[in-house]
Amino acid sequence: THYAITLHRSAIGLPDKTSRTLEALGIHRRMQTVYHRFSPDIAGKILAVKELVQVRNVPASAVRTPEEARNERRAVRGYEVV
Amino acid sequence: MFGPFRSSAVALGGLVWKSPWRLSPTRKANQRLRLKRVDSVIEAVAASGVQCKALVQALALPKQDEMPAKDKYTTFNRTSRGFRKGVHKVPKFTRLSLRENPQGF
């Protein structure tokens, strides 16, 4: 139900329209992943920057806000004696 | 004194900014990978089931395995001999889609 859009190539040196499309998608830096619900306007934006971006189709359960994604990456405190 | 165009003896010798007329096998392999990645993006958008004009146009583009080598590694250029030049001579070619050329060229 959602696109997971990750920016792999930057828009530096490309026409302003391209970087404004990335801004409209909510992407600010390389390797940032952004989630958007399926819709024709988002599809059009992805296709406008298809050379810069990688897309996966994910279910709604896989959508993470930036804070949730950061907490998942964080190391768990404490240790175990094996 | 700084920047890419320093007038040093090495730079003025004319050998530093040589560019081959064609792509090497490595560059061709990377070009094919890039085309495959764009194909996968178009596929993902098509699989989502939305309908839009941009998708219709994107699906009309040839896929990487359907493209002849001539279209993958060269593009149309009106001033070149043979009306084709290496795709690596196009600025930002790694971030542009250059799949279609005028008919007959």
Looking at this predicted complex, what is its ipTM? Answer: 0.90
Task: Match 């900014």 to its residue by tokens.
Answer: B17
Q: What is the b/e burial string over A19-28, where b = at least 16 CB atoms within 10 angstroms of the residue's CB?
A: bebbeebebe
* Cβ atoms A48, A18 nearer than 8 A: yes
**Domain range annotation of chain A:** 2-73
Q: How confident is the model at residue A59 (pLDDT cuts 50, 70, 90)?
A: very high
Is the Cβ pair A9, B52 closer than 8 Å? Answer: no
Tell me, which fold does domain A2-73 have in CATH? Answer: Ribosomal Protein L30; Chain: A, (3.30.1390)
Comparing B9 with B99, which gets the higher pLDDT? B99
Residue B11 confidence (pLDDT): 74
- What pLDDT, in 10s, does the model give residues A16-46? 999 999 999 999 999 999 999 999 999 999 9
The predicted pLDDT at position A56 comes to 97
Mind telling me how many Å the CA of B15 is from chain A's nearest CA? 26
> How far, in Å, CA of B48 to CA of A47, rounded?
13
Per-residue confidence (pLDDT) for residue A36, from 0 to 100: 97
State CA B59 to chain mean position distance. Answer: 18
Check if the beta carbon of residue B36 is closer than 8 Å to that of residue B64.
yes
Phi, psi of A35 (to 5 degrees): -110, 135
pLDDT recorded at residue B16: 78
| pLDDT at residue A78 tops 90 | yes
**Calpha distance A34→A21 (Å, rounded):** 13
Q: Residue A49: its pLDDT value, please?
A: 97
Of B34, B41, B95, the CB nearest to A46: B41
Indicate the burial class of B57 (C-beta count within 10 angstroms; 0-12, 13-18, 19 or more).
exposed
Are the beta carbons of A47 and B55 separated by less than 8 Å?
A: yes
What's the pLDDT at B1?
65
From chain A residues 27-66, the ones with a CB under 8 A of any chain B CB are 38-41, 43-44, 46-48, 50-57
Question: SS3 of A7, please?
Answer: strand
Contact A55 B54 (CB under 8 A): no
More confident residue, B82 or B17: B82
Q: Is the pLDDT assigned to residue B53 strictly greater than 90?
A: yes
Q: The pTM is what?
A: 0.88
Q: List CB contacts (< 8 A) between A44 and chain B.
A: 52-55
Closest CA to B83 of B69, B104, B57: B104
Partners of residue B40 in chain A, C-beta under 8 Å: 54-55
Percentage of the residues of chain B whose pLDDT score is greater than 90: 83
Q: How far is CA B13 from CA B16, B21, B89, in A?
A: 8, 20, 22
pLDDT band at residue B30 under the 50/70/90 scheme: very high
Q: Do A40 and B38 touch (CB under 8 A)?
A: no
